[in-house]
Amino acid sequence: MAFLSYLINGLSLGSVYAIIALGYTMVYGIAKMLNFAHGDIMMVGAYVAFFALNSFGLPVIPSVLLAMLACTVLGVVIERLAYRPLRQAPSLAVLITAIGVSYFLQNGAQLLWSSSTKVFPSVVPAGSVQLFGGQLSISYLTIVTILICIAVMICLTLFINRTRTGKAMRACAEDKGAAVLMGINVDRIISITFAIGSGIAAIAAVLLCSTYPSLSPTLGSMPGIKAFTAAVFGGIGSIPGAFLGGLLLGVIEILSKAYISTQLSDAIVFAVLIIVLLIKPTGLLGRKISEKV
Amino acid sequence: MKKIKSFFRALFDRKVRSRTISFLIVILGYIVVEILLKSGNLSSMFQSLLVPVTCYMVAALGLNLNVGVSGELNLGQAGFMSLGAFMGVCVSGALAPVVSNTLLRLLLAIVCGALIASVFGFLIGVPVLKLQGDYLAIVTLAFGEIIKSLINNLYIGFDANGFQFSFVENKLKLAPGGKALINGPMGATGTQRIATFTVGIILVLAALIVIYNIMYSRSGRAIQACRDNRIAAESVGIHVANTKMLAFVISAALAGAAGALYGLNYSTLVPAKFDFNLSILILVYVVLGGLGNMTGTIISTIILVLLPELLRGLQDYRMLIYAIVLILMMILSNNAKVREFAESMKQKLTSRKREEAANE
């Protein structure tokens, strides 16, 4: 029974990773860049939600929507100002710019909201569901987290596969040059991708802060790295891959904390990643890269 | 006289000009700093930066060999520095009663740091170099995090019976007179600070000699060939895996040597210091200086270490401005329009000069 409870906790943490990883993987799939500032955009979302809940006393849903709106705008603005001028630049230059943006957001947050840790109120009422005659208790927060992750995943899949914009996004991921020839505005599609990725990062931020309620300007960096790992784990650029990678990463982390060692859980997570990449060099669901001579 | 002239001309020959310039910059920098030190014009804050700046330089030069010359993005350079640092601290701590000469002890520590980092570099390189592109980058990041996490749980003590190791929990039972060298998450404490700026500069020069000798040799050309076109390099008989491994191991060894010097510059050192952010910091030095350009790496390291200190007058805003400067520098040096503009300005200038010459 303990195992089942760990597994469910792992799925819940993994859901948060999966939502963040979706942002990484979408941006990578379309703009072919590693957006290292993604974790920090999430951090800004957490602060916006915190102030909406605490200072303005807004109810939960409008606060989350406000945080999503703020992150969406932030993501689009960052893309427009920092990444778009570097569309044709080597990928390392874009990577360093993303790191610069990450520094900027972290230090900006420190200036605006001070580096002291704030306590984030949980957005889901405390309490739990008892199963198997009280042997297994699952908190509401865990259930809500997993359900929201599934909902986000379904919405995103429908959007990508069923709408015109989604089709354009897939076309851009496939071949940007050909997409331009078909009359797709690639710049607009990249902006939309950043908007969606950043918007759902705000959801992840609220869920993450409800589980681990300490809010600080460096909040985004470790979950950011983990989610990035999750995206690579599942095959970067692939949306189901990010979902699967996130869930697996969360489960592995919680199980290794429970059964092996708390201190070594990070090392185990990364070791599993390395083993997976050695067996499947493009991640679990990644597409094979074919070399042409 | 003619011989001296031709010697200097050979030094500034187009092929090796950058090598001469990098050596000159390092030596000039050393002389300037020594003069400032002797005349007492260097504040204690800048003095405390002297050794770290040489450490970052060596680690960045190594990383440039890997990222710029070999073309493989490595996000785990801090892991190799960490190995070197704690190895160096252990070696220096254990040898303290035997070798009283601090300079010799420092050099031994640096050599041991470089050795352990290159051994790990080789072991990590075997799986890592099978991957390509961003997947390779993430695996080096993962190894960096694993090394940090392992050293965070490592306890090493030294007493009359030799070294004692313990993992995850501190189970060291040291004989009287023994001392704990590495204390898990607390890291190394009570280290004798034996690192000096002069040794740092010598290490930078040694790193430059190693790197330029490789770059201008057959294996260096092979490394660049593998970067530019893996398949073409393979088809002319270059063993790609071995060639890439050479660059990877030397890069790791330089990071290890830099780490040993870094570790012996502080009396306390925590493993968490060598995290992903440090790897990124070193990568920023490399990219900003220009991939494959060693002179650029040296200059950008100096500028970027000094920049936050020079901006200290702006207090809380300094890191914010650092970030903005970083973004602007990347955009200005890589944007197609900015480049075009610079090109056209250059052409205008040269054509004007030519006109002037023609008028005369």
- Residue B320 to residue A104, Cβ atoms within 8 A: yes
AA identity, residue A274: I
Cα distance between residue B87 and residue B94, in whole Å: 10
User: Given the structure tokens 């830099």, which residue do they identify?
Assistant: B258
Phi and psi for A236 in degrees, rounded to 5? Answer: -70, 140
CB contact B302 to A (< 8 Å): no
Provide the pLDDT for residue B163: 77
Q: What is the gyration radius of the CA atoms in chain A, in angstroms?
A: 19
CB contact A289 to B (< 8 Å): yes
Provide the pLDDT for residue A289: 60
Residue B72, Cβ density class (10 Å: 0-12 exposed, 13-18 middle, ≥19 buried):
buried
Provide the pLDDT for residue B252: 95
A200 with A19: CB under 8 angstroms?
yes
Spans of chain B, pLDDT less than 50: none
Tens of pLDDT, residues B142-198: 899 899 988 888 888 887 777 777 777 777 777 666 777 888 788 888 788 888 899
CB contact B341 to A (< 8 Å): no
Number of A to B CB contacts under 8 A, please give it. 128
Exposed e or buried b per residue across B312-323, where buried means at least 16 C-beta atoms within 10 angstroms of its C-beta: eeeeeebbbebb
Domain-wise residue ranges, chain A: 13-219
CB-nearest partner of A86 from B145, B284, B335: B335
CB contact A260 to B (< 8 Å): no
The three-class DSSP label of residue B142 is: helix
Give the angle A97-A103-A105 at the CA atoms, nearest 5°: 105
Task: For residue B319, list chain A residues with Cβ-Cβ distance below 8 A.
Answer: 103, 107, 110
Domain-wise residue ranges, chain B: 18-315
Task: For residue B322, list chain A residues with Cβ-Cβ distance below 8 A.
Answer: 103, 107
Provide the pLDDT for residue A292: 54
- Residue B135 to residue A282, Cβ atoms within 8 A: yes
For B200-263, the DSSP string reads: HHHHHHHHHHHHHHHHTSHHHHHHHHHHH-HHHHHHTT--HHHHHHHHHHHHHHHHHHHHHHHH
Interface of B with A in 8-37 (CB under 8 A): none
B82 with B274: CB under 8 angstroms?
yes
H or E element that contains B33: helix B17-38
The structure tokens listed for A197 are: 């990725």
Task: For residue B330, list chain A residues with Cβ-Cβ distance below 8 A.
Answer: 86, 89, 93, 96-97, 100
CB contact A290 to B (< 8 Å): no
| CA-CA-CA-CA dihedral for A73, A74, A76, A79, to nearest 10 | 170
CB contact B334 to A (< 8 Å): yes
Distances A243 to A136, A149, A201, B110, B164 between C-alpha atoms, Å: 26, 9, 14, 45, 44
Provide the pLDDT for residue A79: 93
User: pLDDT tens, position by position, for chain A (293 residues)?
Assistant: 788 889 999 999 999 999 999 999 999 888 888 888 999 999 999 999 999 988 888 888 899 999 999 999 999 999 999 999 888 888 888 888 998 999 899 999 988 888 888 888 887 777 777 877 777 888 888 999 999 999 999 999 999 999 999 999 999 988 888 999 999 999 999 999 999 999 999 999 999 998 888 888 888 888 888 898 898 888 888 889 999 999 999 999 999 999 888 888 888 888 988 888 888 888 888 776 655 55
The structure tokens listed for A244 are: 């699967």
B117 with B53: CB under 8 angstroms?
no
- Residue B153 to residue A264, Cβ atoms within 8 A: yes
CB contact A34 to B (< 8 Å): yes
Nearest to B85 by CA among B284, B324, B264: B264
